[in-house]
Amino acid sequence: MPIDALSPTPPASRVPPIALAVIIALVGVWHATTIRSGHDWGDDFAMYIQHAKNIATGVDYRTSRFIYNAAYPTQPPAYPPLLPLLLAPVYRLAGLNLDAMKRALIPIFLASLAAFAALWRDRLTPWSLVAAVAVIGFNPYLWSVKDNILSDVPFLLFTLLALLAANQAGRQSRPRIRDGLAVAAGVCLACWTRNAGSVLIPTVIGYDLIRWRRLTWLSGCTILAFSALFLVQSLTLGALGGALLFDPRPAVILDNARRYGAAFGTPWWNGVSLPLSVALMAVILGLAAGGYALAWRRVSAAEIFVPLYAMLILTWNSFQGARFLIPLIPFVVGYTFMGIDGLQRLGRPRLRHGVLAALLIAVALSYAGRYTHLDFGPLQRGIGAPTSVALFGFLHNATPDDAVIAFIKPRAASLFTERRSIAFHAMPDDSEFLAFLGRAGVTYLVIGPEDVAPQNQADARRTVEQHAACFELVYQNTDFSVYRVQAQRPGCQTE
């Protein structure tokens, strides 16, 4: 008996398209009219923009004044090209306009909502689907993500499209070549957005083996397309995004489980009461667990992707906060409403209506509480802060063209100052820090802001205090201190 016959299909044909269109349009208006100027200190965005600038101006893709520090591998020298390709036209038309780049990414988020609706339309009752799209679209955390020029939202879109193509193929008695090519296209686009897209390959293989008990065109086309993509990328752009930073040690997995478990509360934080936020998160996770169990009665590619992606981030050796959970949030919401709809299948329609109404009221109150405590003005911290603008201005105007700057966010520094820049890692030994500065040819050291990589900053500040003769203070404001490195003085360079 086909797996598709194991569970009835909800009456998705009654989903009102106008309702979904209105919800998605309102989300777009909300996001577009509440763009906040500036950007936070996570300077991944600067590398994406540098790549986009290179594409727009015809410069080699990897050209950058950023100097890679192998001892600090969380800042790789290059990233996959899809987001830069999306940003390149914006750079060509508007230059280094961060607000324009943020607005260019909003349609991608709206397309993700549409892809989610298409992926779940056969699994949720009509108004549960509409409610799920609204819960995702108006989520305060996902709203805040719009002010980051990062690959998270494009990656979400292409992941959803790849899974949607796999599910469409799963409806056939046997997959066709064109089905395999559609899945392969989605997988390759996700991989060209983030290296983590490679998790879709075992997802497709696993779905093949569960759905058809053998490998089909889905797996074959996906593996061949990914191999070709990897080969072309290696020959033209080289290794991008650094190595996949896996660390499967139990201690790392347990620590990540604890930290990502706490981070999952971020989308449900109401800004007022932690106990109420935890209670809402617990209800959502409980319903989602029930929905996920129910989903296995009519398995889709999503059921394979969710645990594989969770395993990926649990074995990542650098905690990335709630942003690594973005690909999971829509699935948690989908399974939550699937769990609620399961009550109706159990012959409890009144209970289902009551639980649905209670959850939507709780979510609405949580969102309202969070939004009333959010700042809608310019970002107060990050590269747009007055002290940051002043720092970049000094480095650009008062340092020579051949200066080498050591700064905790070197990619932002290299983009906005047009000077070579390298990150300094945590070094508890002063002689090691001095040796690092000498080997890298650093001529200026920037300390600050103190709340970014505090251990690295503390080690740098201690070295400056202990070896004052090696550093000359040339600029200072409330957040930053800039020192000229006196490498020629005796004792200021340790080999």
From first CA to last CA, the distance across the chain in angstroms is: 71
Q: Which of 443, 492, 493, 439 is nearest to 468 (CA)?
A: 492
Q: Which of 112, 31, 30, 148 is nearest to 333 (CA)?
A: 112
Residue 454 and residue 353 share a domain: no
Structural domain includes residue 398: yes
Distances (CA, A) of 76 to 47, 66, 384, 485: 9, 10, 23, 25
Q: What is the C-alpha separation between 71 and 87, in angstroms, rounded?
A: 30
Q: What is the C-alpha separation between 78 and 62, in angstroms, rounded?
A: 6
Structural domain includes residue 172: no
Tell whether the model's pLDDT for residue 11 goes beyond 60.
no
Query: Which helix or strand (DSSP H or E) is residue 431 part of?
Result: helix 430-440
User: Read out DSSP for 297-355?
Assistant: GG--HHHHHHHHHHHHHHTBSS--GGGGGTTTHHHHHHHHHHHHHHHHHTT-HHHHHHH
Predicted confidence at residue 5, as pLDDT, reads 33
Residue 356 and residue 262 share a domain: yes
What is the number of domains present in the chain? 2
C-alpha dihedral, 167 to 173 to 177 to 179, nearest 10°: -20
Q: What is the C-alpha separation between 208 and 304, in angstroms, rounded?
A: 10
Residue 463 and residue 356 share a domain: no
3-state secondary structure of 125: coil
Structural domain includes residue 41: no
Structural domain includes residue 337: yes
Structural domain includes residue 179: no
Q: What is the C-alpha separation between 403 and 400, in angstroms, rounded?
A: 5
Q: What is the C-alpha separation between 164 and 12, in angstroms, rounded?
A: 16
Residue pair 303/278 in contact by the 8 Å Cβ criterion: no
| H, E, C per residue of 243-272 | CCCECCCHHHHHHHHHHHHHHCCHHHCCCC
Residue 260: exposed, middle, or buried by beta-carbon count in 10 A (0-12, 13-18, 19+)?
Answer: buried
Structural domain includes residue 266: yes
Q: What is the C-alpha separation between 210 and 219, in angstroms, rounded?
A: 12
**Cα 51 off chain centre by:** 17
Q: Which of 324, 345, 373 is the last residue of a domain?
A: 373
Tell whether the model's pLDDT for residue 334 goes beyond 60.
yes
Q: Which of 329, 348, 373 is the last residue of a domain?
A: 373
Residue 454 and residue 367 share a domain: no
Return the minimum-mean-pLDDT range out of 143-157, 176-190, 344-358, 383-397: 344-358
Residue 473 and residue 354 share a domain: no
Tell whether the model's pLDDT for residue 409 goes beyond 70.
yes
3-state secondary structure of 419: coil
Question: What pLDDT, in 10s, does the model give residues 428-480?
Answer: 888 889 989 988 999 999 999 988 888 888 989 999 998 888 899 999 999 99
Predicted confidence at residue 491, as pLDDT, reads 66
- pLDDT confidence of 219, banded at 50, 70, 90? confident
Return the minimum-mean-pLDDT range out of 27-36, 190-199, 303-312: 190-199
- Pairwise pLDDT comparison (108 vs 242), residue with the higher score: 108
Question: What pLDDT, in 10s, does the model give residues 223-249?
Answer: 888 888 878 777 777 655 544 567 788
Q: According to DSSP H, which parts of 58-139 are helical?
A: 82-94, 98-120, 126-137
- pLDDT confidence of 7, banded at 50, 70, 90? very low
Q: Which domain holds residue 361?
A: 245-373
Global pTM value: 0.91
**DSSP tag of 489:** S
Q: What is the C-alpha separation between 164 and 323, in angstroms, rounded?
A: 22
Structural domain includes residue 450: yes
Residue 417 and residue 315 share a domain: no
Q: What is the C-alpha separation between 271 and 373, in angstroms, rounded?
A: 6
Residue 350 and residue 257 share a domain: yes
Residue 437 and residue 359 share a domain: no
- Average pLDDT of the chain, as a whole number: 89
Residue 368 and residue 299 share a domain: yes
Q: What is the C-alpha separation between 421 and 66, in angstroms, rounded?
A: 5
In sequence order, the 6+-apart residues with CB closer than 8 A to the CB of 76 are 68, 240, 241, 242
Q: Which of 322, 350, 373 is the last residue of a domain?
A: 373
Which residues is 484 bridged to in the sheet?
Answer: 444, 472
At 476, which CATH number? Answer: 3.40.190
Q: What is the C-alpha separation between 370 and 88, in angstroms, rounded?
A: 34
C-alpha dihedral, 286 to 289 to 293 to 298, nearest 10°: 110
Residue pair 273/373 in contact by the 8 Å Cβ criterion: no
Structural domain includes residue 79: no
Residue 324 and residue 263 share a domain: yes
Residue 282 and residue 330 share a domain: yes
Residue 368 and residue 291 share a domain: yes
Of these ranges, 38-47, 62-71, 106-115, 200-209, the one predicted with the greatest mean pLDDT is 106-115
Beta strand 420-422 with 471-476: parallel, antiparallel or unpaired? unpaired
